Amino acid sequence: MKKICISVGVLLSLLQAGYGQSTTQPAYEKRKLKVEEINLVSSYYQQDGNNSAVTGGIGTEKLTDFAQSFDLVLKTTDQRNRQHTIAFDFNIDHYTSASSDNIDPLTVSSASRSDTHIYPSLSWSVHNDNNRTTKGLAFSYSTEYDYKSYGINLNFAKASTDNNREVSLKAGAFFDTWKAILPPELRPDGYGSGAHGDRDPIDYKPRNSYNLSVSVSQVINKRMQLLFTVEPSFQQGLLSTPFHRIYFQDGGETVEKLPGTRLKLPVSFRLHYFMGDRVVVRTFYRYYIDDWGMQAHTANLEVPVKLTSFISVSPFYRFSHQTAVRYFAPYEQHKQTEKYYTSDYDISGFNSQFIGIGFRTAPPGGLFGIGHWQSVELRFGHYSRTTGMVANSLTLLAKIK
C-alpha cells in the first residue's frame, strides 16, 4: 500500500510539473539578429526573333541578358516572442539589345545596345505566433537608362487555428518615371536625344501602378495543398513606349500610342500534390483579362522526382495563350484614323511554350562538405512563341544557411 501511495504521489507531482510547463510562457531570451539564409541566383537569357517593336513590328529582337541576384534574410525574436524578418534583395541585369540599338542608329544614344538595370528592395515583416498573424512592409527601387521606379508594398496574413489555412492581403504601389526618348526622325526641333552630354531638353513622363493581391492557401489533406490568388492591378500614365515606331498603311510614321489607363485582372490556382514517396506534382493555372481587350490562359506543370533523399530532377512545361489587345496591328497595317496604335508583338495574340528541366541537390552535410552551403539548383528552359520568337534561359541558384 505504501508503494502504491508513493507511486501515485510521484505521478501526481509529475502531472503537476507537466501542467506547469504547458501554461508558463517561455522566458524571453535576448536574441541577436542572425542570418537565416542567403540566396545567390545567376541567370543567362538570350532570345531572337523578327518582330521588333522599335522598328514598327519588323527587324531583329536579338537580346542577351546576364542577371545576378543576392538576397539576404535576417531573423530575430523580440520581447513579446514575435519573429522579425528583414530581407534585403539586390538584383542587377546587364543586357544587350539589337532592337533598341535601332532607336537611334546614328548616335546609338539612348536606352540602346546595352544597359544595366539595377533593382534592390528591402522588406521587414513581423510574425506573431499567438494570434497567427504576419504583417510586413517593403520598399523597392529600380533604375535603367531611361526609366526609374519607386515602390512600396504592405502585406498582412492570418492563419487558421490549426495552421491549415492562411488568408493574405497585399497592396503595392509603384511610382515610375519615363525619359521620353524619341526616334531621331520623329523628334520635334530642339528636342534632345537623351544621350549623355546632349543638353537639349527631353520630356519626363509618369507611369504609376497600383496592385492588390488577395490569396488563400489551404491544406487539403496530408499530401495536397492549394493556393488561390486574385491580383487586380491598375496602371495610369504613359503606358506606351516612346521609342516604338508605327508605320501606317499609307507609309506615314509615328510613335506608339496607347490609352493612359489599364485595368488588369489575373486570377490563379496553384495545386501541389505529393504522390507516393518520390514524386511531387506542381500545377499552376492562371486566367487573365484586361480592359485593352486581352484575355489569356496559362498552365504550368512541373514534376520533381526525388532520385535520392537529397537529389531531385524536375522536368517542367508551361503553355500560354493570349489574344491581342484591340490596338495591335502588324507593320504598315494601321490606319491614320485610328486613335491608338501599337505594333508591339508582346501584346499581340500568340501561343507560347516553355519547356525545360531543373536539377536540385541538398546533401545533409552541406555541399562539398561546406556545412552552410545547403543546396544548389540548376535550371534550363527553352521558350518559343507562335510569332517566331525563341529564347533560352539557364539559371543557377546557391542557397546558404
Partner 1 sequence: MNKNPFLKTLGLTVCIGLLSLTGCTTVKEYQKSRINDAEMELSARKSEKFEQNFYLYREGAAGANGGKSGGGCGCN
Within positions 272 to 331, which residues make up the interface with partner 1, using CB under 8 A?
272, 274, 280, 282, 284, 286-291, 294-296, 298, 304, 306, 312, 314, 320, 322, 325
Sole binder of partner 1 in the list 64, 83, 85, 233 (CB under 8 A): 233
**C-beta of residue 152 within 8 angstroms of C-beta of residue 123:** no
Question: What is the Rg, in whole angstroms, of the alpha carbon atoms belonging to the chain?
Answer: 27
Residue 301 CB burial class (10 angstroms; 0-12, 13-18, ≥19): middle
CB of residue 204 vs partner 1: minimum separation in angstroms? 13
Residue 370 and residue 129: Cα distance in Å, rounded?
A: 33
Kindly identify the residues of this chain, within the stretch 365-384, that bind partner 1 according to CB under 8 A.
377, 379, 381, 383
Sole binder of partner 1 in the list 117, 132, 158, 205 (CB under 8 A): 117
Residue 361 and residue 156: Cα distance in Å, rounded?
A: 33
Residue 256 and residue 194: Cα distance in Å, rounded?
A: 18
Sole binder of partner 1 in the list 346, 355, 361, 401 (CB under 8 A): 346
From residue 184, alpha-carbon distances to 50, 137, 246 in Å are: 22, 43, 14
CB of residue 196 vs partner 1: minimum separation in angstroms? 18
Nearer to partner 1, 187 or 264 (CB): 264
Residue 264, interface with partner 1 (CB under 8 A)? Answer: yes
Count of Cβ atoms closer than 10 Å to residue 397 Cβ: 17
Give the range of 23-31, 75-83, 115-123, 126-134 binding partner 1 by CB under 8 A.
Answer: 115-123
Residue 100, interface with partner 1 (CB under 8 A)? Answer: yes
Nearer to partner 1, 251 or 276 (CB): 276
Residue 202, interface with partner 1 (CB under 8 A)? Answer: no
Residue 399, interface with partner 1 (CB under 8 A)? Answer: yes
Residue 157 and residue 136: Cα distance in Å, rounded?
A: 9
Residue 21, interface with partner 1 (CB under 8 A)? Answer: no
**C-beta of residue 368 within 8 angstroms of C-beta of residue 282:** no
Residue 194 and residue 204: Cα distance in Å, rounded?
A: 11
Sole binder of partner 1 in the list 48, 144, 203, 332 (CB under 8 A): 144
Nearer to partner 1, 77 or 235 (CB): 235
| Total residues at interface with partner 1 (CB under 8 A) | 106
